[in-house]
Amino acid sequence: MPLTFSSLLGWTIYENETLIQSFSTLDWLLVYSITVLTMALALTPTTVIALVSGYFLGIKAIIPLVITYSLASIIGYFLSRPLGSKFHKTIHEAYPKLDNLIERMSKFSPTGFVFFSRISPVLPFAVMNVVLPFIGIKFKPFFWGGMAGMLPRTILAIGAGHLAVSLFTLINQPNNTTYMQIGFVVLLTISIFGFVLLFKKALRN
């Protein structure tokens, strides 16, 4: 579903590039209002929205995007929370050692755990909206850690979108640039290093 929806969205944006370039502030407010729901329901990846926003709006897209993914994460959190206990029990029964380790890491530093989860470019935004409440992360660390962790990924994608030569290339090959590839490696390294650090500290406590 996300792949199909994103493909249709990409085609629509490409076909209406000239129209989108003339969007007013009110038009963009409507776009981001809709995007809050599509992000929360895992229909549009945050990276795609950030790339396109960077292409059309440049650095000005940071504030509306931060607000958008923050609101989307809140919706995802509260939609997922009622199912958390049942899911957690299932995971614990299937992978008790892994579940215990993750629980110790998340309880030792919940904000840090959320931050390193969010900054990782291989952990999808919508998936983590579901997983983090399931493992018992409270709302406050979920929100603030998530906002901080998503910011570097958002800035990276906005920059890539702003530097894109054409909308067609951006939509069809969003990660096929040196800028994005280097950013991917840097963010992944930070995420891995952070989890290793949390892992070691959790084992000592």
Percent over 70 (pLDDT), the chain: 79
pLDDT, one tens digit per residue, over 34-71 is 999 999 888 888 888 898 999 999 999 999 999 999 99
Distances (CA, A) of 59 to 9, 44, 124, 191: 22, 21, 23, 24
Evaluate if pTM is beyond 0.85: no
Looking at residue 86, its pLDDT comes to 60
Looking at residue 34, its pLDDT comes to 93
Residue 63 half-sphere exposure, CB side, CA atoms within 13 Å? 3
Task: List, in order, residues 6 or more apart from 122 with CB less than 8 Å away.
Answer: 188, 191
- Please give the structure tokens belonging to residue 118: 């969010």
pLDDT, one tens digit per residue, over 85-119 is 566 556 555 556 656 666 666 676 889 889 999 99
- Range of the structural domain that residue 31 is part of: 2-204
One-letter identity of residue 38: T
Domain count, the chain: 1
d(CA 47, CA 51) in angstroms, rounded, equals: 6
